[in-house]
Amino acid sequence: MITKAPGIEDIFPDKSAQWNHIIACARNCFGRYNFREIVVPILEFTELFVRGIGTDTDIVSKEMFTFEDRGGRSMTLRPEGTASVVRAYCENGEYNRRNVSKFFYVGPMFRAEKPQRGRLRQFNQLGAELIGEDDPYYDFEMIALVNSICAEIGLPPYTILLNSIGCKEDRARYTAELRSYYAAHASQLCHSCTTRLDKNPLRLLDCKEERCAALKDEAPKITGFLCAECADHYGKVRRYLADAGIAYTENPHLVRGLDYYCRTTFEFVTDVLGGQNAFAGGGRYNQLVEELGGAPTPAVGFAAGIERMMLMCPPENFKSYTLDAYMVHSEKSFGKAVEIACMLRGRGISVDIDPVAKSFKAQMKRCDREKAAYALIIGEDELAQGCCTVKNTSNGEQKKIAFDKLTETLYNELQRSVYTG
């Protein structure tokens, strides 16, 4: 038997109610905040992510699925969506069309991480990018949008972590301080962090190794290194959040694992996921558009992991898909049953039917297994009388309805049952 590769999951129909619910809630919220969908490629030139995310990040240095195509070009399965959205924005000259562009996306991402609960090699994100504005209002709006999505989905309690990592100059001053702090503890660092210390000390703060994480508590905090403008920007983001009644916890070590961030960074975390506690994250990235060949353009965005959100909500919170009607027929009435099934489907009613006329009992059993709301029985008697026996499977009530009244009667009954739950 050929199995799926490690860290890659199938989503079976029993989980798809949850899956669809999460995406539908997010789409509703994106619409309310005036974000429009963009569909970007899954496969891109490797250089996009190397330049966009940063050579020294874990994602680029060890987690990308990269291969040479038949033309000898280096291609990568996207590990995230931001770089692709910005590439598309620049390539299509979006900046000529509007001052602020608001995109959202939903789709698979790929990272060659060590698989565990909530950490997959192929996972799905929903995310948004707002390109063209530096106003702190938009940083707030992005966090408020994620918060609305969580509320709409009905996620259990979570914490919003917030930080500002300032501008390039702030980070240069901070990084120098960070380097000297960690250099003094060099012997305690893991092998990767010894390299990070040289190349990109900010990444030391992301290390999950116990001995490196322990050093983080005493490490210098970026907050003391923010210039007046960045401090003011951060202050306004916090004020907008406070005014909107959105609670947050400041975490001065929240630098996020991608190099493109500046100023605001945020993460939505929960303890129900164990090790993988972040289920959404994002922040401001004012240099990325320029880095990828566009004019200097500020931007802010977020992405959330769909599988992690699925793990957070108990399956019983989701109404699973139900079948409206199951046709029960005899060999002789099969033609009529198919005709009726087509009519009902045409009116938006879901129907299933087995072409082989099994015994009445076997068909009723199948109706049960499919959890159909109604059994529509057309035996020889019904055929002769021009009607159908309609059995409500939840209360066992049975009545006969003429063929020409069936579609509307059933449609109205199903509508009623939706509204009364």
Chain residues that interact with ligand HAM, rule: CB under 6 A? 80-82, 111, 113, 118-120, 123, 125, 127, 129, 257-258, 278-283, 285, 301-305, 307-308
Nearer to ligand HAM (CB atom), residue 113 or residue 413: 113
CA 316 – CA 311 distance, rounded (Å): 12
Nearer to ligand HAM (CB atom), residue 63 or residue 382: 63
Nearer to ligand HAM (CB atom), residue 95 or residue 334: 95
Residue 33 C-beta: closest distance to ligand HAM, Å: 15
Nearer to ligand HAM (CB atom), residue 220 or residue 283: 283
End-to-end CA distance of the chain: 43
Residues whose CB is less than 8 angstroms from the CB of residue 157 and which lie 6 or more positions away in sequence, other chains included:
270
Residue 220 C-beta: closest distance to ligand HAM, Å: 23
Residue 104 C-beta: closest distance to ligand HAM, Å: 11
Residue 181 C-beta: closest distance to ligand HAM, Å: 25
Nearer to ligand HAM (CB atom), residue 102 or residue 329: 102
Nearer to ligand HAM (CB atom), residue 84 or residue 330: 84
Nearer to ligand HAM (CB atom), residue 189 or residue 289: 289
Residue 307 C-beta: closest distance to ligand HAM, Å: 5
CA 85 – CA 49 distance, rounded (Å): 12
Residue 176 C-beta: closest distance to ligand HAM, Å: 26
User: What's the burial of 344, exposed, middle or buried (CB within 10 Å: 0-12/13-18/19+)?
Assistant: buried
Residue 180 C-beta: closest distance to ligand HAM, Å: 28
